[in-house]
Structure formats: C-alpha cells, structure tokens
Amino acid sequence: MTTILPSPRHGPPLLEIRDLRTQFGFGPGTVNAVQGVDLRIAPGEIVGLVGESGSGKSVLALSILRLIQTPGRIAGGQILFDGRDVLAMSARDLGRWRGRDIGIIFQQPQGCLNPVRRIGWQVAEPLRQQERLTRRAAWDGAVSLLRSVGIPAPEEKALAYPHQLSGGQAQRVMIAIALALRPRLLIADEPTTALDVTIQAQILELLRDSCRHAGTSLLLVTHDLGVVARLADRVAVMYAGRIVEDGPVATMLDDPGHPYARGLLRAAPRLGQSGGERLQDIPGGIPDLSRAAPGCAFAPRCGRRASLALARCLEEMPPLATVRPDHRLRCWAAPDATGARS
Amino acid sequence: MGRYVLKRLLLLVPVVIGIMLITFLMKALIPTDAATAIYQGQLSEQDAAQAIAALRAKYHLDLPWYEQFLLYVGDLAHGDLGESIRLRKPVIDEIGYRYVNTILLTGAALAIALVVGLATGILAAARRNTWLDVTATTIGLFGISMPAFFFGLLLILLCSVWLRILPVVPHGPLAIVLPAVALGLIEAAPLSRVARSSMIDVLRRDYIQAARARGASEIALILCHALPNALIVVLTVVGLQIGNLLGGAFIVETIFSWHGIGELAVNAIQWRDFALTQAIILISAVTYLVINLVADILYAWLDPRVELVS
Amino acid sequence: MSEALLEEPVFEAVPRWRQLLGRLLRNRSAVAGSTVLLILVLLAAFAPLIAPYDPFKINPAQRLMPPGALHWLGTDEVGRDLLSRIIHGTRYFLLICAVTASISASIGTVLGLIAGAGSSLTDGIIMRMIDILLAFPYILMVLVVVAILGPSLWTGMAAVGIAGIPGYARLVRSAVLTIKAEDYVVSVRALGASEAEILFRTVLPNVLSPLIVYLSFATPLAALLASALSFAGLGTQPPAPEWGAMLVNSRTYLFSAWWAVAAPGTALFISIFGMNILGNGLRDVLDPRS
C-alpha cells in the first residue's frame, strides 16, 4: 500500500487546543479531569496520547467532540478546528461537523453498534444522511467500505448483526463507519485494548494505512507504549490532567525528558530482558483530582526530585516549556534543554 | 422463524389439554352443583330429588369423572361448549358475540395504553429529572395505585355529569370510549414506567454515544436509535400485562354494562352456572395463551439476538 | 499536600440492618409510605374508639346525606355514616393485605426454595406445575377459586392468595439459583458447611432483599384485586364495610350521591398509593441495581 509521508509541520494546525479544562461534579468535590491542556495536531499527522487510567486522556478525547455530559462540563479553554471555534458552534453546526470532519472510535466496538440493526445499514447510514445517496447506492458504498477495511465476504457480512461479529471484525466495522465520510481527523480511544494481541497489530496497521491513504490525522489515545511505537509521528504524555511532555516519537521512545515518561518506558517489558529481572513500576498512585495541590502533580512519586532534593517541584507547577522546536517538557527537574541525563 | 412458530404451536397442545383438565376438574371440586342449587328449596323433597336426578342424567353428572372428561373433550371438538343451566341455551350462543366485544374493548384499551404510555415514558426519559419527568412518574404511580372500578366510576361522573360531554348511557361507537379510556389509562401507567426506565438504560449505551459522535440529532437518537431497542423490553412487559388487561376488562365491563365475557363471567359465578363459568374460563385461558404466543413471536422477530433454535 | 493523601478514613463497624434502617429513614418515599401504613394501622386498631357512629347501624331517615357537620363524609343509601364505615374498612384492608401476602409469600417461598435448592428433578416438576398455573392470567385463577368455593371475604382472600403463589415461587427460585452460584456460597461449602446450613444461613438472608421488595409491590396489587372482587360481588359481601363492597350498592346512586362512591374509592386509592410509595422506597434502599 502506498504511504503518504506526513506533511511537514508548517502551516496552520488542523486541531489546536488551548488551555482546555474539563470538570466533573460541583462544589468542593469537583474533579478536574483535564487541567489546562495545550495540544496541536497537524494535517495528516498521527499523534499518540499516552497516559495511565485516570490521566484524563479519554476525557480529553470526548471533550474535543463536546461529548461531555452532565455532571461533566468544559470549564474553559479553546478548541480550534481548522480555524473554527468548536466550543462556540451551534447545535446544528456541531451535528454537521461531527461525523463529517471529525470521527471517533471507542474501546468496546461491539457496544458501539446498534444491536438490532444490520451492519450494512449502520455503515450505510452516514452515507445516506450526509451525502444523500439512495438506499441502493448507500448499501453498495457500505459494502465497498467493509471490503476496504478487510472484512472478508463483505456482501454477506453486511447482512449480519453486531453480536455475530468477533471483536476484531467489529472494530474494523467501526473504522469503516468512522472513515465513511473521509473526516479530516480521527480520534481513536483505546481502539485495541479490548482485542486479542494477535488482532491488535492488524487493527493498528489498518488504522495507519487508512489514515495515511486518506490524509486523515489520527489522535491515538492509549496507555500502551507499544501501540504508539507502531504508528505515531509524535507522542504526547499526559499525567493528572495535564500534558507533561510532547515530542517526536523517536525521542519519546528512546530518551524522554520527563521522569514520568521515563518511568513508563522502564516499566514496559522488553524482549531480551532476562527472566530474573523484576519489572520496574512507578511507586505510588495518581493524585486526587478533586484536590488542587500546588506544585508538580508527579512530584510525590518522582525519583529525580527526591534524589535532587528540589523544593521547587512541590511548590510551583512547572510550565509546558518548549525545549526544542518540536519538543515540549513540563519539568523543573529535567537537567537542561539538550536533555543530558542524571 | 417458521420452524420456531411451529414448535411453539406444538408446545401449546399439552398446555391446552392441561387447561381443559383444570377447568373440567373445577366441577369436581364444587360442593354443590348447579342442579341442586336450582331446585333446592323450590320443590318438595321427593320432586326435588327426581328433578335433580333427571338434570344430572341429562348432563351426565352421574358418570365417573374420566368418562365425563372424555365426553367433555369430545363435545369441545364439536364446538359444543355445553348448555348453560341457568340460561337454558347453548353456551356458545351467549359467548359468541360477547367474546368479540371483549376483544374489541381490550384492543382499544391496549392501543390507548401503548400510545399514552410510550409517549409519556419516552418524554420522561428524554427530559430526565425535569418537572416533566417528575410529573410523568408521579402520574404513573397514581395509575398503578388506582382501582380500575373506581376510576371508571370517576370517569362516568366526570364526563357524563360534570362536564357533560358524553351521554350517561352512550350508544353506538361512542359506547366504547369511556370503558376503553378507563382501562387504557390505567394500563398506561406501568407501561410508561417501563418505557422510561428502558429508554434511560438504552440511552446510556455506547452505541448511542457513538451515534451522537457521528452527528445524530437528539431527536434522531431517541426515535431512530434508542427506541427500537427500548421497545423490546416494553413488549415483554406488554405480554406480561395482557393478563392484567384481561382482568381489568372483566371489571370494567361490569361498570359500563359492556356486554363482554367478563360481565358474563361475573354473573355466571354468582349463578353457580358451572357450564358457563367453565366455558368462559377455558376460552379466556386459551386466548391468553395465544396472545402470549403472538407476543413471544413478535419479540423473537424484533430482537435479532434471540436464539430461535434452542 | 502529599502527606494528606496518605491518611486513611476510619470505618466503624455498623451492623448491616442498622445501616439499612438509617437509609430507609432518610428515604422520602419510604417515610411517606410508612406514615400512611402507620395511620391505617392506628385507625384499624382503635376503630371502635375513633369512629363516631356504628358502621352497621341503619338509619333510613338519614340516607344519602351529603357531607356535613353531623356526618363528615355523608351517609350511604341506608343511612350509615360513611366516615365510620371507612374507618372500620381499614381493618378489612389490612386483613386482606396480611392474609393474601401470607398465603402467597409463605407457600410461594417454600416452593421456590425447594425448587431452587433441590435436585433438578424436583425443580423441573415444581416449575412445570407453576408454568401451567401461570398459563392462567391472575384474574382467571382467582375466578376459578371463587367459582369453586363461592363468594365471601375469606374465599376472596384465599383466591387472591393462591393466585399469587406462582409469582413468589418464581422469584424465590431464581434468587436462590443466582445466589447458589455466587462465589461466597461456593467457598462456604468448600469450608464444609452442610446443605441445610448453607440454605438457612447464607442463601436465605440474601433472598430476603428481593423478596421484601417484591412483597411491597405484590401486596397492594393483591389488595386491589380483592377489592375488585368485592366490587363485582365475588368477594366480601355487603353489609361489611369493606371499601370494594361498599361500592356495590353505592354505585347505583352515583349521580345523586357521589360522595358515597368517592369516599371508599379514595380511601382505597390512598392506601394503595401509600403502599406503592413504600415499595419504591424499599426498592431504592434494598435493591443495589437501581
């Protein structure tokens, strides 16, 4: 399959998020799931968003599409899609923008399909609605979409119901539906977490190839570094509602600057590790997101802060500083801009 | 699908036989039979004894029970449901037109219940926790607690006396309005409750969120995506409620003098007319069974996840 | 601060039933429903003291009088004071609730326990019987029993009670089957407890929750049906001041003396409504799923 290299990072970004804040609940127990996130995605770029459970990455993904519902709400910030202010869109514009310019696939593919409708109609529906095709034309379009995502015998499979599909097949169908109208940006929220390991690789390749082929940007939300390694051009790491590091995939997977990112790398099991070695986890747990503590959110768990005895980490939140043109880092304890290691 | 229907129909047979046995055995358990009830105290001892014996012979009341059962089934096969001792005519004549009336009433009430129940339930789920929801839920609670006979009487008071929009004894097509509304509104209450909770459950599902992410409007989400799924649960409840509907119809008929089999059943029991009672119960039970079967088939047809071959 | 994250809340050991009681008392529905029930019980217990007149005393000169100073709710077609009859009617209502619930719940629970806890053969036999009984709608079952036994208060209650048995049996059986398969039962069995011990100590207390919730909904339904029977002349017979029976004769005077119809009907409605609200409250507290 021919691949189109990602366009260089000049020119206006496709998606620009500025200081986005999303909260859940009211009063003293309000949970600040997303606390001031800045992120940019260029046209045709594949960005991996990595973080553990509770980091706010899924909430961020839903916030971009304004899918957060009570008791949650977007508390501030800006989301610009191709220059348009997403947060200011009317309900009608939002309805037209979703599905056509931006798409999303979720973790549990079978749960996302309507159990009482045949697969073919679910794929054909966006074609019929947004492009006003006839039933026949939409059905044919659906079948060819199913073929393009690798579903064998698509004419027959289109007549099946969701419960008759395997997890991998269901996710392929979701990808087909999401890409049906050729959106400019696709968000994939943990797309392979619920699938068998053997299927994961296939789905990820499908995602990569489909997006490259159509020039669609992809925001891949995951907790799994391995997933990111296969696909992404850039990796952003999230912790406790904030982006803590954001850089090119090569650097991020080899030698990241943030102690948390380094911890994630160390914790990932590798081929070639001897059987006697212990897996290294990051001690401690994520902080309580309903309590605002001054200082860096990772500080209590940070080995580097402890070894360097940096008081500043506990008192002042470090800003997301640009240490290189394509690399940002939020850390007081990172030695210097060139990333010399301790 | 055809095989499923056939299988269910075949399974009906033993149940129907069981029902026939039970209704037949009813008679065996009655301490005094209708024959004695009619003649006791009316004639002198000796004449009474003779008349009772004659009646007993006529209705084969003196044969052993298994022979009577076989005769009974044989008669049924010929469409002969026996003769009403009290009314002195074949049961089937009396039941025929009344049965149709009861079906009409139940059907009209079910239609009203479905429309009102679904509409209020869906509205309450879509506007959850607003005043609309609270009102609908409270009215639903009222409906479940309201005795059908009291509601019927209230409706008569309201419509015929205070508002004067209907004559006291309506004739023709108008006659079905009040009884159907009385029964229908009361049955709408449990349906509304189930519709609401089913819709709330479905609206929480991932595929609704996925459809919303594709730009579906709220109305489209509720009507096109959620409703078909929620209806499946509602249909199950409707099937369970048919029994209540039938029972309610029996009571409502007596209030509004609607000439259905319910009214007849009540009278038959008061008269201790066993042939009549037996026949009505048999017919009602079989009807209920058939309606349940139809509901099951409908359910299997609507929900593709149901296994048709066990 | 990070130190604050390390402190652990301290849990006191509060007995479960007291926890439940506390939650019940805070639940508005449960409180409202219990109040209605309490009022009914008080009225029933002290009826002869509270009621201003003898509920059976006929007074033709005062028939069909509208509500007024002498008779707060008016009089019926033979001059009996409606308020007194309503108050005494609480006794019938509570008796009906108690008897029907006892019959249905006790026999149904026993059957359900046997079916659920016994061998699959006993389960099969009992469930086939229940299924055949369930082939009859509720009301037909009741009519069958009344047809056999003749109409009266006790036959009406027996009929409704018997008709309610399959519902309880099915509920208890499915609860037992679910609980039997749960891990905590398996582990208790692995520790060497006998089947009887398991049944009574572990299974039964967990069946109580759904049973109580079902009871709170099924009882008002049974009471409704019993009153409907009386109204149709197939249950409690007049002149007993049972609310359904009161309507049998009063309905003839619907247009001239609507209060004779409104009083017993409203009393019935409020009582059933109260019990349903209590059922809602119980379900909120006892059923973890909702």
pLDDT, tens digit, 9 for 90 and up, residues B202-257: 998 899 999 999 888 888 888 989 998 888 888 888 887 887 888 888 888 888 88
pLDDT, tens digit, for every residue of C220-246?
Answer: 989 988 998 888 888 888 888 889 888
Q: Averaged over A205-227, what is the pLDDT?
A: 90
Q: Is A325 exposed, middle or buried (0-12, 13-18, 19+ CB in 10 A)?
A: exposed
pLDDT at B300 over 90: no
Amino acid identity of residue C152, one-letter, is: S
The pLDDT assigned to A340 comes to: 39
The pLDDT assigned to A9 comes to: 53
Least confident of A58-67, C13-22, C53-62, C251-260: C13-22
Report yes or no: B28 at the C interface, CB cutoff 8 Å: no
What's the pLDDT band for A342 if we cut at 50, 70, 90? very low
Closest CA to A170 of A186, A192, A187, A153: A192
What's the pLDDT band for A203 if we cut at 50, 70, 90? very high
Phi, psi of A184, deg, nearest 5? -80, -30
CB pairs under 8 A between A and B: 62
User: What is the average pLDDT score of chain B?
Assistant: 79
Most confident of the following: A190-204, B279-293, C54-68: A190-204
Q: Averaged over C67-94, what is the pLDDT?
A: 87
Q: What is the 3-state secondary structure (H, E, C) of B202-239?
A: HHCCHHHHHHHHCCCCHHHHHHHHHHHHHHHHHHHHHH
Are A299 and C5 an interchain contact pair (Cβ–Cβ within 8 Å)?
no
Mutate to test the interface with C, among B141, B149, B258 (most CBs of C within 10 A): B149
Closest CA to C179 of C115, C88, C117: C117
Q: What is the pTM of this model?
A: 0.79
CA angle at B6 for the pair B4 and B11, rounded to the nearest 5°: 95
Higher pLDDT among residues B61 and C83, named by residue: C83
pLDDT, tens digit, for every residue of B54-66?
Answer: 666 666 666 666 7
Q: Averaged over B17-37, what is the pLDDT?
A: 65
Q: How far does the CA of residue A297 sit from the closest CA of chain C (Å)? A: 9
Interface of A with B (CB under 8 A): 65, 67, 91, 94-100, 103-104, 106, 108, 111-117, 126, 130, 161, 163, 174, 177-178
The pLDDT assigned to B31 comes to: 52
The pLDDT assigned to A145 comes to: 92
Q: What are C276's two structure tokens?
A: 């349903």
Higher pLDDT among residues A38 and C7, named by residue: A38
The pLDDT assigned to C131 comes to: 75
Q: Reduced to 3 states, what is the DSSP secondary structure of residue A100?
A: coil
**ipTM of the assembly?**
0.81
DSSP structural state of residue A74? E
DSSP structural state of residue A287? -
Report yes or no: C69 at the A interface, CB cutoff 8 Å: no
Cα–Cα distance measured from residue C290 to residue C288, given in angstroms and rounded to the nearest whole number: 6
Q: Averaged over A179-205, what is the pLDDT?
A: 90
pLDDT, tens digit, for every residue of C134-179?
Answer: 777 778 778 877 877 778 888 889 989 988 898 898 888 888 887 7
The pLDDT assigned to B113 comes to: 93
Are A314 and C4 an interchain contact pair (Cβ–Cβ within 8 Å)?
no
Q: Averaged over B193-204, what is the pLDDT?
A: 89
Cα–Cα distance measured from residue B112 to residue B123, given in angstroms and rounded to the nearest whole number: 16
Are A300 and C4 an interchain contact pair (Cβ–Cβ within 8 Å)?
no
Q: Averaged over A266-280, what is the pLDDT?
A: 70
Q: Count CB neighbours of B83 within 10 A.
A: 19
pLDDT, tens digit, for every residue of B126-155?
Answer: 888 888 888 888 888 888 889 888 998 888
Are A98 and B209 an interchain contact pair (Cβ–Cβ within 8 Å)?
no
Q: Which chain B residues contact residue C140 at CB under 8 A? A: 246-247, 281, 284-285, 288
Q: Where are the alpha helices (DSSP H) in C181-258?
A: 183-190, 195-197, 204-231, 243-250
pLDDT at A30 over 50: yes
